[in-house]
Amino acid sequence: MAPRPASETSKYARDVGKFPKKVSKAKNKRLQQGLKKVDQEYQEFVKSAEATDVLLQEEAGFLEADGPMERTMKFRQDDIVEAVDVGTANKKLDLQLTELGPYTLDFNRNGRKLLIGGKKGHVASMDWRLGKLGCELFLNETVNAVKYLHNDNFFAVAQKKYTFIYDGSGTELHRLKKHVELTLLDFLPYHFLLVSAGYSGMLRYHDVSTGALVSEIRTKLGPTQAMKQNPWNAVMHLGHGNGTVTMWTPSQKDPVVKIQSNRGPIRDLAVDREGKYMVVSGSDKRVKIWDLRKLQELDTYVIPTPARSVDISDRGLISVGWGPHVSVWKDAFKTHQDEPYMTHLLPSSKIEKIKYVPFEDVLGIGHMKGVGSMIVPGAGEANFDAMEINPYESAKQRQEQEVRTLLNKLSPDTIALDPNFIGMVDKKARNVRLNQTQIQDLEDEEKKEKERSSMNSGPSYKPEQTKLKKYLQKNNANIMDARRMRIERNLKLEEERKEKLKAKELEGEGEPDELLPALGRFA
Amino acid sequence: MAKKKQQRSQKRRSERKILDAFHLAERGQNGSDGSDSDGEELQVRDGIMDARKFMKNQDDDEFEDEELDSDEALGSDDDYDVLNSKFSQTIRDKRKNKNADESDSEYDSVDESQLVTLSEAWDLDDKYNSAKKAKSLSQLKSLEVVLNDDWESDSAESDSESDSEDNKDQSAGEGSDSEDDSDGSDDDSSSEESESEDEDKMLRGSDDEDEIDMSKTLSTINSHLKKDPEHKRLINETVKENEYGIPTGGVKLSLADMLGSSEAPETTLISRDLADDLNALAVPLPKRIQERNDRKVAYEITKEEVSKWEETVRTIRDADQLQFPMAPPATEEQEEVDAEREYDSLRIVPENDTKSDLQSKIDAVLRAGALLDESKEATFEQIAAAKLSKEDMFKRTQELRRMRELMFRDEQRAKRIKKIKSKQFRKIRKRETLRDAALVEGSDAESDEEDHDRKRAEERMSLRHKTQSKWAKSVIKSGITKDASTRAELEEMLRSGERLRSKQLGYNDGERSDGNISDVERDYENDDEEAENQERAKLGKGVLAMDFMKAAEERKRKENLKDIEFLKNMRESNGTEALDESSKNSINQTKNQGRRVYTPSAKIAQEEAEEAEEEALHDYRDDEARSLEKQMRGRDRQPEQDTDENEQPPAKKHKVVEEEFAGFDDEDSDKEADSKKNSRAKNSKNPLSSHNDGDLDPEENPWLTGMGESTEKSKKYVAITEDSSRLSKAANKIQKVASKRQTKGKTPDTYIDLNNAMSIAGNVQHSEDEDDDEEGPETRMFLQKNLIQEAFAGDDVVSEFQEEKRRIAEEEDDKTEDLTLPGWGGWGGAEITAAPKKKFVRKIDGVVQKDKRKDKNLKNVIINETLGKHNLKYQSSSVPYPYESREQYERALRMPLGEEWTTKATHKKATQPRVVVKQGVVVDPLKAPFK
C-alpha cells in the first residue's frame, strides 16, 4: 500500500477522506485548470502549515515512572512539587476557605485569572499566580455558578434568583432579569453569548455585547444537571435527570442530538478541545466516553462514587473528581486504561468543581474547604497562539483583543453541529449545476407532474354555494327584515347539520355504516 | 556695433582657417621633403602659399592677440553654423549693397548654372585676368563658393582634401579682404594672380615645373569634380521671394529633361497585344456571393491577426495576478532570480552598443541640440576605465564592490561587538586577539619587516627571554613557586626564550615534525588547522569559543592522533601482536618513570588500556569472522574449525555459529539467538570474558554459552526441506517445541521478568467493563452495582428513550393521506358490480425516511434531521457557477484563507488582488508582443 500523502495525514489537513485523491475531471477545460490550481494551493498550504511546526518550540511531556515497579498514580503532589522547577511549584495553590461552603471556580480564557464562588456568597476574582486579588464580594446570597465573560473584566454570577454581571472591581453592572434560578453558566467567546440553564429547564442564550436575549429554549427535560460547551462548534451539551445528554444550538428549538448516556441522572460532562470526545459522568457511577464524530460510546469507567465534576485538559487528560478524590486519566481516548495517570486526595473534603487552567499543567480544584490546585504534568498546551489567546498579554493587548473579537463576533445562527456548513451547498439541493435550459425543463416537468397529480388526486371541485348564501351575498345591505332573519337561521341550521354529519362520519369510520351514506344524512 | 564685432570675429576666424590650412599643407610637404627653408622672401613654397603674409599686411596687432595653438579645431561646428545662418546673411546683404552700385545688372543676371567651383573660377581668372569686370565677378563667385564650401563641409569632406582646403582658405582670405577693404582691390588682384599660379603649380604637382596644357588639367579637374555632385549644389537665395520663385536646390529644369520622360516605353492604357487576345470579360459574380467571398477572406485575415493575440490573452487569463503597468518580462525575471544567479548575470558584461531605437533617437536629438557633450561627461574613472579591457573592468568593479561590502560588514560587526558588555566575552576576546597576534608573529614575521625589526629590537632591549636579568635572577633566587603571578611571568619569559631559540635554529613548528607521517595524519593536521582557522574566524561566537571547549577539542584531537598512530602500527605489524605491543608500550610508558606508581589513576589507565585492547581484539575478530570465506569454511568444514581454534578464539566461533542460526531458522531460534546474545552481551561486559588463549572462561556459565549450543547446533543441521518426509517434519517440529521450552527454562536466573511480576492491579481505581464486573471477584462492587440497578429500576430511561426515538422516526417519516371519497366516480345501481375502487392517496414528504435516518444504527442516539431555516441562509441553494458539481465546489473551498489558519505567505498569496494598478500611472493598452 502506498503511503498516504502529507496532505492527508497532516494535522493541518482539511476534510480528510471527504474527497477522492484525484481531482475529478471537469468538462470545462478552464475549470479543470482552476481546480487543479486550487488543489495545488491546498497541498502547498498543508506543507507550509506543517513547516510552521518548527516554530512551536515548547515540548510537552508527561510523568514517567522509573520502570514497571513504579506507578505514576502513586506520585504524591508533594513529591512532584519538590521535583519540579520553582516556577511550576509556585503554581501549586491552596486556599483554605472553610466557612463559605463548597467552592466553584472558573479561569479566564488565558488562564491568568481565577474566579471562585463559594456557595454561601463568597465571590473573588484574583490573579492566582501573583496572588493578587482583583475583587472580593460577600453577597450574602447563594452563589450557584460563576463565569468569566470574554475577559477578566467581566464576570457573571448566578445567584439565588437572578444572575448578575460584575466588572473586574466587583461593581454590579447588570441584573439579568430573564435568567432566574440558574445553576449553570457558560460563555461562548466567539459569539459573545452567555448561556444559562438551571432548575427551570430553560436554556437561554444572552448576547452580552448587545444585551439582547438571543434565544430561549425549553428543554422539556426537567432541571438541567450539567452543561458544557463544545469548543469546536459552540454547541451546548446539557445533561439531564433521565441520563440523557442533549446538544443545542440557539437557532433550533429541539436538540440537534439527544443521547441516552447514563442510566441515572447526569452529574457532569466535559467536551474536549477539538470537539471529538465527550466525557459524561452519571449518578450510576459510570463515567462514559463518547466519540462525538460517530456518536458512539467509546468506553465506560466505573467509579466508586458518582463523579461530581469532570474536565478534559487541552492535551486530552481526563480528570474526574469524585468524593475527596481527583483522578486523572491519560490516553483514555485511545485505549482502555487500567489505572489512572495521577490521583490526588483532599482529605475530609469533597470536590465541587475541577477545571484545567488553560496553557498550564495545573488543575484547579474547588472543594468544600476552599480552593486548591494540582500539578498535572502534560496537561496544558505548551504552545499558545498569542494572536488568539495570549497568557502574557498587557492591558493594551487585552483591549485590542477585545475590540478584535467584537469585530469578529459570529452570529448566533452560525452555530451548528457541523460548523463547516457555512458556504457549502444546501444538502437538499442538487449535486450538479444545471444550465438554464435544463432548469427550465425540470420546472416544466414538475409543473406537469403537479397538474397530473392534482387531476388524479380526486375531486377538485368548487363547493357549490347554497342559494341562501348567494342571496345573502347579493343583498348585503344592512337592512334586517324578516326574510333575511329567516335565511340566516336556516343557514345556521344547515351548517350545524353538516358538521354533525362530518363528526358522525369520522366517528363511525371503523365500523361499517348500517345506513348507507345516502340515508345517513337523515339520521 | 554688434555687427561689427561679428565681422571682426569672422575675420579672425577666417584668418585662423588660413593659418591652419597653411600648417596642414606645410606638414604634408614636410612629409615629402623634410629640408625646407622657410625664408621670408619665399611666399610660395612648393605650391603652398603662405597666407600669413597677407594677414600681416592687414592688421598684425589683431592677429598677434590670437592664440594660434588654441585654434586646432578647424571644423568646429559653430563656425559653420554662424556662416550658415546669420553671418552669411550679412555677407550677402553687404554684397548686395556693393553690387548694387557697381554692377547691378550683371549681378542679377548671374544664375546658378553659371556658378562654378573655385578652380574653374581661377581658370577663368587666368583667362580674363586683365579684365576688370571679370575680377569683381570672380571675387563674387569665389565668395559664393566659400559660402558654399563652408555650408557643405560638415556633410562631406571632399576627396581632394588639400585642394579644397586650400581653395577654401584662400577664398576665405579673399572674402575677408573684399569685405574689409572694398576699394583696395589692386593688391588683391595681384595676390590673386600669384595665387592662381600657385594653384596651377600645385595641381600640376611639385615634381615638374614644365608647362602643361591648361585645358587638359582643367578638364581632368572638371571631370573629377563633376563626379561629386554635391559640390555643385549651391543655393542662391538672392532672388526675391515671390510666389513663383520656388527654390530649385540648384537644379535647373531643362527641356531635355521634360522630353526625356516622354521617351519612356509606350504606355498605352490597354496594351495592343493583349487587347487582341482578350475575349469578352467574364460575368462578375453576383453581389451577395462576391460579398460573401470578401467576408470570408476578410474573416481569414482578421482571424490571423487576432490569433496573434491568443497567447498573450491566455497568459493574462491564467496569471494569478496582473500588475499594471505591466513590467517587461525580462525585469520580472530579474526580480525573481536569486542572488546567486544575479551575481552570475552580473558577470556577463552587458553590451552597450545595442541601443534601443528610442535611446538612439534621444541621443541623436541631444547631439543635434548640442546638449550631449560626451567629453564633459567623462569623469576620471570613466577615462581610466576606457583603457581597461572589459573583463578587467568587470573584475575591478567586482573587487571594489566586494571591498566595499566587506568594509561595511566589518564596520557593522565592529559596532556590534563594541556594544557587547559581557566581561566574559571581553576576556575571551582579549585572549583571542593575543593569540592571533602571536600567530601573526609566528608566520608573518618575514613579511612585515618593519614590525619584525621593531620586535627584535624590543626583545633585545628587554632581554625578557633570558634568565640573566636581575629580576629573573631574584625571582629564581626567592623561589619560583612563591607567587602565582610572578611564576606565570617567569614562565612566559622562559617560553619566549624557547621560542626565540627555536627560531634561531631555523624551523617553524610545522616543520619540526618528521616528514614521515602518513597521509591520513597529514590530512588530519591540515584539517585541524583549517578547523582552527574557522574557529578563529567566528571568534567569540557561542560556546565553542570558551576555554573548556577548546581544551576538550584539543584532548579529542590528541586522542585521534593517538588512534592514527596506533592504526599505523597495526598496519605495519599486521596482527594482534601490535595490540600487545601497543598495550605494552603504554604500560611501559607508565612504568618508565623509574618508580612504581601507586596512584589510582595509573591503575585506571592500565585497566583502560587493557579494555581498549580487548575491544580492539573483539573488533578484529568480528571483522575476520564476518568475511564470507571464513563463514563458508565454518559451514562446510565443521571439523576443520576445531583445528583452526589456534587461530580463532573459541568464543568467537560460537558467535559465528549463532549468527548463522539466526539467519537460517525461524522465530523460535531467533529468540534463542536473542537469549544467547544477551549472554554474549553479558560476556562483553565482563572484562575478563575474552582471552587470547583459546580456553573458555572459567566464570562463564557453561549452560548458557558453551556445550549446549554446540550440541544443539549439530542437531539443527539436519536440514528440513520441503521434500523431506512428513515424519521428519513432525519430528522436527516437536524437537523445536521441546528446545523452545528448554531454552525458556534455561533462561538465566539472574533475569527477572518484570512484566510477569507486576500482575497486581489497583482495586481502588478499579475500572472494568460491565461483563467484567459481573464475573469479578469483588462481591462488594457487584452488590453495589445491583443496588444501583435497583435504585434506577423505577424509571426505565432506556426504554423510554427507545420509545421516543421510534416516535420521532415515525413523525419525521413520509406520510400518506387517503383522499378517497366514497361513491365518487362510481355508479350506483342494481346491476352494477362493484368496480375496483380507485384509491386516491396523497404522499406527504416528511423530514427524512425511516431507513435513511442517520441514527438508524445508533442505539442510544437521536439525531435531529430537521434543518434550521437560519442555517440555510449561510448556504448556497445550488452549486455556484463555474463549478459543475458539489464535490468540485466544496473541494475548492477546502483551503482556509484566514490568517489564523495559514502561514502569512499562503494567506497573502491566497488573498492577493487579481489586478493591481499602480496609482498615478497611465496604463497603456496592451501591446502586441509579436512586434
* pLDDT tens figures, B770-796: 444 444 444 455 566 677 666 665 568
Asked whether residue B12 falls in the same domain as residue B154, the answer is yes
- Burial, B565: exposed, middle or buried (Cβ in 10 Å; 0-12, 13-18, 19+)? middle
A296–B884 C-beta distance less than 8 A = no
- Please, where are the H alpha helices in B154-269? 161-180, 186-204, 214-227, 255-262
Tens-digit pLDDT string for chain A (523 aa): 455 565 667 888 888 888 887 777 888 888 888 888 888 899 999 999 888 888 888 888 898 888 888 889 899 999 999 999 998 899 999 999 999 989 999 999 999 999 999 999 999 999 999 999 999 999 999 999 999 999 999 999 999 999 999 999 999 999 999 999 999 999 999 999 999 999 999 999 999 999 999 999 999 999 999 999 999 999 999 999 999 999 999 999 999 999 999 988 999 999 999 999 999 999 989 999 999 999 999 999 999 999 999 999 999 999 999 999 999 999 999 999 999 999 999 999 999 999 999 999 999 999 999 999 999 999 999 888 888 899 999 999 999 999 999 999 999 999 999 888 888 888 888 888 888 888 889 889 989 888 776 665 555 566 667 777 777 777 777 778 888 888 889 889 988 998 999 888 877 655 555 666 677 666 6
Is the same domain home to A249 and A344?
yes
What burial class does residue B819 get, using C-beta atoms within 10 Å of its C-beta: 0-12 exposed, 13-18 middle, 19+ buried?
A: middle
Structure confidence by residue, pLDDT tens digits, B201-260: 444 444 444 455 566 666 666 665 555 554 555 545 555 556 665 555 566 677 777 766
Q: Residue A378 falls within a domain, yes or no?
A: yes
pLDDT, one tens digit per residue, over B352-384 is 555 678 888 888 888 777 665 555 555 555 566
**Is residue A353 one of the residues assigned to a domain?**
yes
CA B624 to chain centre: 53
B153 pLDDT higher than 60: no
The reply to whether residue B888 touches residue A52, judged by beta carbons under 8 angstroms, is no
Q: Is A433 close to B885, i.e. CB distance below 8 A? A: yes
Question: By residue range, what is the domain housing residue B311?
Answer: 289-315
Whether residue A249 lies inside any domain: the answer is yes
In a shared domain, residues B842 and B740: no
Chain A: give the shortest CA distance to residue B805, in Å.
Answer: 9
**Average pLDDT, integer, range B158-170:** 44
A302 vs B: CB within 8 A: yes
pLDDT at B824 exceeding the cut of 80:
no
pLDDT of residue B158: 41
Greatest mean pLDDT among B72-76, B333-337, B585-589, B622-626 lies in B622-626
Clarify whether residues B738 and B814 are in a common domain. Answer: no
Pairing of strands A342-345, A325-329: antiparallel
* Residue in B754, B769, B870 to test binding to A, most A beta-carbons within 10 Å: B870
Does B127 lie in the same domain as B71? yes
Helix (H, G, I), strand (E, B) or coil at B685: helix
Can you tell me the distance from the alpha carbon of B408 to that of B338, in angstroms, rounded to the nearest whole number? 22
- The pLDDT value given to residue B127: 58
Q: Do A433 and B878 touch (CB under 8 A)?
A: yes
- CA gap B587, A5 in Å, rounded: 61
Q: Which residues of A touch B912 (CB under 8 A)?
A: none
Which residue would you say has higher pLDDT here, B77 or B212?
B212
Contacting A residues, span 494-523, partner chain B, CB-CB under 8 Å: 517
User: Is B420 a domain residue?
Assistant: no
How do beta strands B915-917 and B322-324 pair?
Answer: parallel
In a domain, A331, yes or no: yes
Contacts of A42 in chain B (CB under 8 A): 894-895
Burial B126-155 (b: 16+ CB within 10 A, else e): eeeeeeeebbbbbbbbbbbbbbbbbbbbee
Residues B246 and B301 in one domain: no
Interface of A with B in 356-395 (CB under 8 A): 385, 387-388
Residue A187 shares a structural domain with residue A250: yes
Preferred mutation among A8, A233, A426 to probe B, highest tally of B CBs within 10 A: A426
- The SS3 of residue A183 is strand
Is B344 inside any structural domain? no
Residue of B nearest to A332 (CA): B767
pLDDT single digits (tens) B457-479: 776 666 666 667 777 778 777 77
Checking if the pLDDT of B832 tops 80, the result is: no
Cis link prior to A265 (omega < 30° from 0)?
no
Which range scores top for mean pLDDT: A275-284, A514-523, B179-188, B310-319?
A: A275-284
> Is residue A463 within 8 angstroms of chain B, CB to CB?
no
Task: Tell me the residues of chain A between 84 and 123 that have a Cβ less than 8 Å away from chain B.
Answer: none
Angle at B141 between CA B136 and CA B144, to 5 degrees: 130
Are residues A242 and A160 both part of a single domain? yes
- Record the cell numbers describing residue B596, joined without a space: 612504581
Nearest to B509 by CA among B441, B428, B564: B441
Q: Chain A: nearest CA to B793, how far in angstroms?
A: 9
Angle, in degrees to the nearest 10, between helices B132-153 and B118-127: 170
B286 band by pLDDT with thresholds 50, 70 and 90: very high
Contact call for residues A275 and A232 (beta carbons, < 8 A): yes
Whether residue A413 lies within 8 A of chain B, CB to CB, comes out as yes
Question: What type of residue is B371?
Answer: L
Ranked by mean pLDDT, the top range of A55-64, A378-387, B603-612, B708-717 is A378-387
Same domain, A252 and A385: yes
What does the radius of gyration of chain B's CA atoms come to, in whole angstroms? 59
Please count the other Cβ atoms lying within 10 Å of the Cβ belonging to residue A43.
15
Q: Which residues pair with A95 in a beta bridge?
A: A371
Pairing relationship of beta strands A370-375 and A94-96 according to DSSP bridges: antiparallel
Contact: A425, B886; criterion CB under 8 Å: yes
Question: What pLDDT does B565 receive?
Answer: 83
pLDDT at position B1 is 46
Nearest to B840 among A69, A388, A458 (CB): A458
C-alpha B500/C-alpha B503 separation (Å) is: 5
Contact B761 A338 (CB under 8 A): yes
Pair A499, A382 in one domain: no
Strands A122-127 and A202-207: unpaired
Domain boundary residue, one of A341, A375, A400? A400
**Distances in Å between the alpha carbon of B511 and those of B494, B507, B508, B514, B515?**
22, 6, 5, 7, 8
| Low-confidence winner among A56-65, B54-63, B333-342 (lowest mean pLDDT) | B54-63
pLDDT at B847: 83
- Whether residues A99 and A23 share a domain: the answer is no
Q: Are B125 and B267 in contact (CB under 8 A)?
A: no
Query: Do both A189 and A292 map to the same domain?
Result: yes
User: Among B694, B720, B751, which residue terminates a domain?
Assistant: B751
- pLDDT over 60 at B897, yes or no: yes
Select the highest-mean-pLDDT range: A258-267, B43-52, B604-613, B618-627.
A258-267
- Is the CB of A436 inside 8 Å of chain B's CB atoms? no
The CA distance from A172 to the nearest CA of chain B, in Å, is: 35
In this structure, is residue B762 part of a structural domain? no
Q: What is the mean pLDDT of chain B?
A: 63
Residue B910 located in a structural domain: no
Both A219 and A254 in one domain: the answer is: yes
* Cβ <8 Å between A45 and B895: yes
Say how many C-beta atoms besides its own lie within 10 A of residue A486's C-beta. Answer: 11
Same domain? For A112 and A41 the reply is: no
Identity of the residue in B866, B870, B888 whose CB atom sits nearest the CB atom of A24: B888
Please give the Cα distance from B818 to B841 (Å, whole number). 4
The domain of A28 spans 15-48
Q: In chain B, pLDDT over 90 holds for what percent of residues?
A: 6
In which residue are the cell numbers 592688421 written?
B59
- Which one, of B120, B108, B182, B109, lies nearest residue B145 by Cα? B120
Q: Which of B755, B858, B868 faces A296 most closely, judged by CB atoms?
A: B858
Residue B209 is assigned to a structural domain of this protein = yes
pLDDT tens figures, B843-896: 888 888 888 888 888 989 999 888 777 778 888 888 888 888 888 898 888 888
A452 in a domain, yes or no?
A: no
* Best A287, A299, A432 residue to mutate vs chain B (most B CBs within 10 Å): A432
Does B876 sit within 8 Å of A48, measured CB to CB?
no
B890 to A424: CB separation less than 8 angstroms, yes or no: yes
How many structural domains does chain A have?
3
Task: Give yes or no: residues A35 and A161 share one domain.
Answer: no
Best mutation target, A31, A39, A45, to test chain B (most B CBs within 10 A): A45
* Probe site for chain A from B886, B901, B914 (most A CB atoms < 10 A): B886
ipTM over 0.90? The verdict is: no
Buried b (16+ CB within 10 A) or exposed e, B786-797: eebeeebeeeeb
Find which of B9-13, B344-348, B484-488 is predicted with most confidence, using mean pLDDT. Answer: B484-488
Q: Measured between CA atoms, how close is B885 to chain A, in angstroms?
A: 4
For residue B394 the three cell numbers come to 568587470
> Minimal Cα–Cα distance from A255 to chain B, Å?
7
Segment among A60-74, A481-495, B65-79, B315-329 with least mean pLDDT: B65-79
Query: Going edge to edge, which strands form the sheet with A182-188?
Result: A182-188, A193-198, A202-207, A213-218
Point out the residue among B801, B863, B871 whose CB comes nearest to the CB of A421.
Answer: B871
Q: Do B765 and A343 touch (CB under 8 A)?
A: yes
Write out the three cell numbers for B650.
Answer: 573459541
Size of interface A-B (CB pairs under 8 A): 225
Interface contact flag, A254 B773, Cβ < 8 Å: no
Distance from CA of B823 to the nearest CA of A (A): 9
* pLDDT of the residue at B267: 56
Give the chain B residue nearest A460 (alpha carbons). Answer: B819
Per-residue pLDDT, A221: 92
Q: If DSSP codes are grouped into helix, strand and coil, which group holds residue B337?
A: coil
Residues of B in contact with A410 (CB under 8 A): none
Contact A256 B863 (CB under 8 A): yes
C-alpha cell at A295: 456518536
Domain count, chain B: 5
Nearest to B651 by CA among B704, B720, B609: B704
CB–CB contact A48 B761 (8 Å) = no
**In a shared domain, residues B147 and B293:** no
Q: Does residue B225 share a domain with residue B92? A: yes
Helix boundaries (H) for B686-792: 707-716, 726-746, 754-757, 770-775, 779-791
Residue A499 lies in a domain: yes
Do B105 and B12 reside in the same domain of the chain? Answer: yes
What does the block give as the cell for A416? 451548528
**A48/B903 touch (CB, cutoff 8 Å), yes or no:** yes
Interval B301-317 mean pLDDT: 88
Q: Which of A56, A425, A506 to mutate to test the interface with B (most CBs of B within 10 A)?
A: A425
Instruction: Judge if A239 and A371 occupy the same domain.
Output: yes
Q: Are A51 and B913 in contact (CB under 8 A)?
A: no
pLDDT greater than 90 at residue B303: yes
B16 and B154 together in one domain: yes
Residue A482 domain flag:
yes
Q: Are residues A325 and A391 in the same domain?
A: yes
Q: Do B867 and A414 make contact, defined as CB atoms within 8 angstroms? A: no
Q: Is residue A433 part of a domain?
A: no
